[in-house]
Structure 1
Amino acid sequence: MERLLLVILPCYKSSRTHTLVGKPIRDGYSVSVLSGWGLVYLALQAHNLSGHIVIQASSTKFVKPVISDIKSQSVFVSVQQREKFLARYRRKGIARIKLTSRICCADELCVVFSGAYVVHR
Structure 2
Amino acid sequence: MDRITSHEQGLAALASHFAGMPPVAALQVQVDAWREGCLRLRAPLAANVNDKGCAFGGSLSSLMTIAAWGLVALELESAGVHADVFVADSRVRFLKPVFEDLVVEATFDDAAEHAALLDVLRRQGRVSIRLQARTVLADGAVAATYAGRYVAIARS
What is the TM-score with the length of structure 2 in the denominator?
Answer: 0.68
Write the deviation string for residues 16-51 of structure 1: whole angstroms up to 9, x where unpaired. 85523xxx3211111111100110011101211011
1:7 has 2:49 as partner = no
Give 1:19's aligned residue: 54
Q: Which runs of 5+ in 2 are unaligned?
A: 1-34
Give 1:47's aligned residue: 79
Equivalent residue of 1:116, what SS? strand
State the identity %: 24
Q: Which runs of 5+ in 1 are unaligned?
A: none
Give 1:102's aligned residue: 134
Equivalent of residue 117 in structure 2, options 85, 92, 97: 85
Equivalent residue of 2:45, what SS? coil
Whether contact under 8 Å (2:110, 2:130) holds in the other structure is no
Equivalent residue of 1:19, what SS? coil
Kindly report the root-mean-square deviation, in angstroms, between the aligned alpha carbons of the 2 structures. Answer: 1.9
| Amino acid across the alignment from 1:59 | R
| Amino acid across the alignment from 1:120 | I
* Higher share of residues assigned strand: 1
Give 1:115's aligned residue: 148
Equivalent residue of 2:147, what SS? strand
Write the deviation string for residues 65-108 of structure 1: whole angstroms up to 9, x where unpaired. 11211111001246533121221101100000010000011211
Give the number of aligned pairs.
117
Task: Tell me how far apart the structure 1 counterparts of residues 112 and 75 of structure 2 sit (CA, whole Å).
Answer: 13
